[in-house]
Amino acid sequence: MTRRVLCFSPYPEDGPSVRHRISALRPGFAADGIELVVWSFMTERLFRIRRTFGRWRKLEKIFWFGLGTLRLLWRIPFARGYDVVVIHREAFPVGPAWFEALIAKVNPRLVFDFDDAIWEPPNNPINQRGKLFSPGRVAEIMKRSRAISAGSAFLAEHARRHNPRVHLVPTSYPDLGGQALQREAPAVPVVYWIGNWGNALYLELIGDALAELARRMPYKLRVVGGSDVKEIRLPPDVPIEPLQWDPALEPEWLMQADIGIMPLPDTAYERGKCAFKLVQYMAAGLPVVASPVGANRDVVAHGETGFLADGTAEWVDALQRLLSDPALRQRMGRAGHARYHAHYSPEAVQRGWREILREVAA
């Protein structure tokens, strides 16, 4: 008999967190005889226009928001027919956890899945929730859940304050076979960063290090993300190549890179990030350099799969060592790919979800 899992999500399946934490589970679930259904609050249209502005755009967003609210209310009673219900981050994006509480009453076999410190206001240049942001809603959802899937040890520790049934389930990425390891060392190595809209500003934290590095040796900084990648304020010496994210080209760009980087500020929201960039890099066989913040400390084996760097001097030293030594890049890339297989591959994540579903369905 086919079991059925329903996921409520704020974003459609094009959203990065839904795509990698939930939709990516579908093949493994299907192999286990489980049907996965995802119901999002946002329509595809609202998701695309949510960060655009103007009088008419505001009216359009109000319309789609209202439609999403009505659709959610209509759908909630049907949650009763599923074996397990997952709430990924939230079912409704603002205010207290009224909708999530209603879902828990309709079907108490509830799993809460999250991959950010979403009880903290984000360090994003545009905060569209404003006064409607309710940090207490996350604790309320956790208390009503039979199990929690947390994307990092930091998030899991926070969740245990509200619910003891917490599972650490990292965000995975498809195995690229470590193919970045299979190409010859280029004359101009590529330092690679990929991220969601609003995160490119993190690169400004290491602007001085990148400029100093450019004065010492040739390299290219390839930055892949949203429209904001063209607005990064870096010193003019930095050889930056900004690229608009393209899902079809993402694997190819990763495999053309030589080093993956993930700078972060040591702030409350960023400590909750799940180091997904690093997982992507290691899936391609890239050595990494990252700030020692949050899950970065767990994912990077310092001196083995890459380096943790804090401050300009450490970033320059780590990147210079890797850029000047192709053999070191190869060795760390292989070690990173092996670490990816052991802890962050789709198979490893699937094992975690099997345990969760057994616990909740029982």
**CB–CB of 109/83 below 8 Å?**
yes
CATH hierarchy code of domain 3-172+346-361: 3.40.50.2000
- CA–CA distance, 285 with 265 (Å, rounded to integer): 25
Q: What is the pLDDT of residue 1?
A: 52
pLDDT of residue 227: 80
The predicted structure's pLDDT at residue 199:
85
Burial of 330 (0-12, 13-18, 19+ CB in 10 A): middle
Nearest CA-CA partner of 260 in 182, 332, 348: 332
Taking only the tens place, the pLDDT of each residue in 155-188 is 999 999 999 999 999 999 999 987 777 777 788 9
pLDDT for position 125 = 57
Strand order through the sheet with 166-168 = 34-40, 3-9, 84-88, 110-114, 147-150, 166-168
Instruction: Provide the β-strand partners of residue 194.
Output: 224
Element (H, E) at 244: strand 240-244
Kindly list the domain boundaries of the chain, sorted by start residue: 3-172+346-361, 179-343
Give the pLDDT of residue 47.
Answer: 84
Task: For residues 203 and 233, give the distance between their C-alpha atoms in angstroms, rounded to a whole number.
Answer: 9
Q: What is the pLDDT of residue 53?
A: 84
Report the alpha-carbon distance of residue 122 to residue 115 in Å, rounded: 13
Q: Tell me how crowded residue 62 is: count the other CB atoms within 10 A of its CB.
A: 10
pLDDT at 129: 58
Parts of the chain with a pLDDT under 70: 1-2, 122-132
HSE, CB side, 13 Å, CA atoms: give it for residue 54: 5
**SS3 call for 144:** helix
Same fold for the pair 3-172+346-361 and 179-343: yes
- Contact criterion met (CB below 8 Å) for 10 and 90: yes
Q: How far apart are CA 98 and CA 330, in angstroms?
A: 51
* Predicted TM-score of the model (pTM): 0.92
Are 188 and 58 within 8 A, CB to CB? Answer: no
Q: Is residue 291 within 8 Å of 263, Cβ to Cβ? A: yes
Fold annotation for 179-343: Rossmann fold (3.40.50)
At residue 259, the 3 state secondary structure works out as strand
Predicted local confidence at residue 103, as pLDDT: 98
